[in-house]
Structure 1
Amino acid sequence: MAQTGQITADTTHVTAVAARMRAWDARWPQTDGVAVFNRVYLRVTEEIGREIGAGGFPDVIAAQTLGARFAERYLDVVELVAEGGRPPACWRPLFQYRGHRDVRPLQFALAGINAHIGHDLALAVVDTCRSLDCAPRSIEDEFDRVGEILGTLEERIREELMPGPDLLQVADPLTHLLGTWSLERARDAAWSAARVLWSLRELPDLAEEFTERMDAGVGLVGRCLLTPWR
């Protein structure tokens, strides 16, 4: 566990990023693909805030920091795109296809989760460790607890956004496609990537190359998840 000083159940940072998500949600149409993911992620952020307030994390300061750094990476991309910038490869498919009428809401949600878990989570772990001056192993319990929250919400999201039974019979290839992606595997890969990046912190050229390859690979998966269903 990270030695982070006095532990308090202050959710200020998590509350602040949730407010930023609500502000963006108010600006987008409900059917916008990024808005679909944003609503999903807002629920995750609110749940993390409740868990922090209820003392559900072993180290509250580490949980606050990880939650905020994680969300800020997504919000930074949103602001970059709004200003006319080009998003990282992992986020590019979601922003490119956000208005495609033949991409289902569940596809948008999973593509966003894929980008955020597959790329941003590893970098957020490293950000957190730099902020708290600790190694990834010191915040593993907090990482795992966030993963448990994500897993529970993913099940609900699949139930709510999956097309109805009649459509599933027609769109069997889509059902198969969405079933090939696993949050648990993505989260395990993110943890391994975070440990690699931490070990490469004194080798910035290698760390940058590793991050670029990770970004590209996650982007390819995202593009597959957004395959139009007809």
Structure 2
Amino acid sequence: MVQIEQSAEPAGPGIPVAQTLAGIERMRAWGGRWPGGDGVGVFNEAYLAVAQTVRGQAGRGVPRDGETADTLEERLMERYLWAVDTAEAGGRLPECWRPLLPRRRHPGVRPVQFALGGLHAHVAHDLALAVVDACRTRDCAPAELEGEFERVGDLLALLEERIRDDLTPGPDLLRIADPLTHLVSSWSLERAREAAWSAARVLWQLRGLPSLAEEFRQRTDAGAGLVVRLWLTPCR
């Protein structure tokens, strides 16, 4: 079994649909509590829209490829909920989520930077661990979750599209010489997803070597954290 440090492990072995709905309500409450322009709040608002899409799929109750209520989408959402809860409690976060906290109200960091920085943390680190979580619960290899992984990818693509459409400044503000132009154009969700899938497969193969698995997870987390810090470079 892959063992990861306590700070990066959400509590509880499963995520029933009822818990997912409760999680969506928590995200709504967070959005109402955080001030406008809050960096984590910017990502939360965009992610909430996608979480509601997940809820709609679960609410139809139609099985897909033998899935249970404990889907990969729900595993992934739990990772984000845990990160926010840990931050609110003053706990130790994975490196990829830490940069969002001290800069969440920085006037020089634009909303799209916060949103895409949060998306990168969620994909580059959380997605791989969510796959491992699901494999561990179902006692299956990552290959058996490939269909679900692709559906999660579709949802993440919707999230990226929403972020870019709603938060990227218009052409009158976003000029070729603007550093934000280079930041937005240099990141690829597809490449981040491919790296997450590879990381999940490696972690699963290392499940009998917990120390090495944890070292690999930490390296993955550190790499994701570096990219998030670059995303949050002030551009004003």
Q: Given the two structures, how large is their TM-score scaled by the length of structure 1?
A: 0.89
Cα pair distance change 1:224/1:132, threshold 3 Å: same
User: Hey, what does 1:75 align to over in structure 2?
Assistant: 81
> Which structure exhibits the higher relative contact order, with contacts defined as CA atoms closer than 8 Å and separated by 6 or more residues?
2
| Deviates further, 126-135 or 166-175 | 166-175
Contact 1:17 1:68 in 2 (8 A): no
Instruction: Give the one of 106, 113, 119 matched to 1:107.
Output: 113
- 1:51 and 2:61 aligned: no
Contact 1:126 1:194 in 2 (8 A): yes
Instruction: Give the one of 92, 96, 99 matched to 1:93.
Output: 99
Unaligned runs of 5+ in 1: 1-9
Instruction: Give the one of 3, 27, 35 matched to 2:33.
Output: 27
Mapped partners of 1:32, 1:171: distance in 2: 26
User: Hey, what does 1:216 align to over in structure 2?
Assistant: 222
Contact 2:39 2:103 in 1 (8 A): yes
User: Hey, what does 1:177 align to over in structure 2?
Assistant: 183
Q: Which has the higher helix share?
A: 1
Instruction: Give the one of 27, 33, 44 matched to 1:38.
Output: 44
- 1:123 and 2:126 aligned: no
| Deviates further, 136-145 or 83-92 | 83-92
Which deviations, in whole Å up to 9, do the C-alpha atoms of 1:146-195 show, x marking residues without a partner?
A: 10121133123201100121111276221111111111111111111000
Count of aligned positions: 220
- Residue 40 of structure 1 aligns with an amino acid whose one-letter code is A
User: Hey, what does 2:22 align to over in structure 1?
Assistant: 16
Give structure 1 regions of 4+ aligned residues with deviation exceeding 2 angstroms.
Answer: 10-14, 51-60
Mapped partners of 1:147, 1:183: distance in 2: 9
User: Hey, what does 1:3 align to over in structure 2?
Assistant: none
Cα pair distance change 1:171/1:214, threshold 3 Å: same
- Note the 1:130-141 alignment, pairs <5 A: 130-141=136-147
Query: C-alpha root-mean-square deviation of aligned residues, in Å?
Result: 1.7
DSSP-derived class of the 1:169 partner? coil
- 1:203 and 2:209 aligned: yes
